[in-house]
Structure 1
Amino acid sequence: MQIGERDPVTGQYTTGHDWNGIKELDNRVPRVVKFFLYATILWSIVYWILMPAWPLGVSYTKGLLGIDQRQTVGKAVARGAAQRSVWVDQIAQLDFEAIRQDPALMAIVRETGSTLFGDNCAVCHGTDARGNPGYPSLASNAWLWGGDAETIAETLRVGINSSHPESRYGQMPAFGRDGILDQAAISSIVSFIRNNAEGIDDLGPLDTKGVEEGRELFVENCAACHGESGRGDPSMGVPDLMDDVWITGSNRQTLFRTIWRGRQGHMPHWEGRLSEIDRKILTLYVTNIASGQTEGVDER
Structure 2
Amino acid sequence: MSHKEIDEISGVATTGHEWDGIRELDNPMPRWWLWTFYATIVWALVYTIAYPAWPLVSSATSGMLGWSSRADLRTELTAAEAAKGDYVAAIEKASVEEILADDTLRQFAISAGSAAFKVNCVQCHGSGAAGSPGYPNLNDDEWLWGGAPEDIRTTIAHGIRFAGDEDTRISEMPAYGDILSREETGDVVKHVVALSSGGDLTGPGAEVFANNCAACHGEAGKGGAEFGAPDLTDAIWLYGSSPAEITAQVRQPRHGVMPAWQARLGETTVKELTVYVHSLGGGR
Cα displacement (A) at 1:88: 0.3
Letter in 1 for 2:150: E
Distance change >3 Å, CA 126–CA 22, structure 1 → 2: same
Q: Is the CA contact (8 Å cut-off) linking 1:53 and 1:63 kept in structure 2?
A: yes
Deviates more, 1:272-281 or 1:60-69: 60-69
Q: Secondary structure of 1:254's match? A: helix
How far is the alpha carbon of 1:9 from its aligned partner?
Answer: 4.3
User: How is 1:29-178 mapped onto 2 (pairs within 5 angstroms)?
Assistant: 29-55=29-55, 60-166=60-166, 167-176=168-177, 178=178
Q: How far apart are the structure 2 equivalents of 1:56 and 1:118? A: 37
Equivalence for 1:279: 270
Q: 2:182 aligned with 1:183, yes or no?
A: yes
CA-atom RMSD in angstroms: 2.7
Residue 298 of structure 1: aligned partner: none
Distance 2:132 2:67 in 1: 50
Q: Percent identity?
A: 40
Which of 260, 263, 266 is 1:269 aligned to? 260
How many Å apart are 1:84 and its aligned residue? 1.8
Distance 1:75 1:149, change over 3 A: same
Structure 2 residue 209 is the aligned partner of structure 1 residue 251: no
Q: Distance in 1 between matches of 2:18 and 2:263?
A: 71
Counterpart Cα distance in 1 of 2:191 and 2:113: 41
Deviation of 1:142 after TM superposition, in Å, equals 1.4
Q: Residue type of the partner of 1:214?
A: G
8 A Cα contact 2:156 2:262, kept in partner: yes
CA contact (8 A) 1:160 1:267 kept: yes
Would you say the 8 A contact 2:165–2:260 is kept in 1?
Answer: no
Q: Report the TM-score, using the length of structure 1 for normalisation.
A: 0.82
Cα distance in 1 for partners of 2:127, 2:94 equals 28
Measured in 1, the distance between the counterparts of 2:87 and 2:283 equals 24
- Residues in 2 aligned to 1:109 and 1:63: alpha-carbon distance in whole angstroms: 42
Amino acid at match of 2:95: D
What amino acid does structure 1 have at the position aligned with 2:108?
Answer: I
Give the TM-score of the pair, scaled to structure 2: 0.87
Q: Which residue of 1 aligns with 2:18?
A: 18
User: What amino acid does structure 2 have at the position aligned with 1:219?
Assistant: A
Q: Please tell me whether residue 193 in structure 1 is matched to residue 173 in structure 2.
A: no
TM-superposed CA distance for 1:258, in Å, is 1.6
2:262 counterpart SS class: coil
Q: Over residues 114-153 of structure 1, what are the superposed CA-to-partner deviations in whole Å (9 max), with x where a residue is unaligned?
A: 2222232223222322221221111112111222222322
Are residues 15 and 162 of structure 1, via their aligned partners in 2, closer, same or farther at CA, if it must alter by over 3 Å?
Answer: farther
273 and 17 in structure 1: CA distance in 2 versus 1, 3 angstrom threshold:
farther
Q: Indicate if the aligned counterparts of 2:195 and 2:233 stay in contact, CA closer than 8 A.
A: yes
The one-letter amino acid paired with 2:190 is S
Over 3 Å counting, the alpha-carbon distance change for 1:234 and 1:31 in structure 2 is same
Question: What is the one-letter code of the residue matched to 1:161?
Answer: R
Residue by residue over 1:59-81, the C-alpha shift from the partner in whole angstroms, topping out at 9 and shown as x without a partner, is: 65444433233322221111111
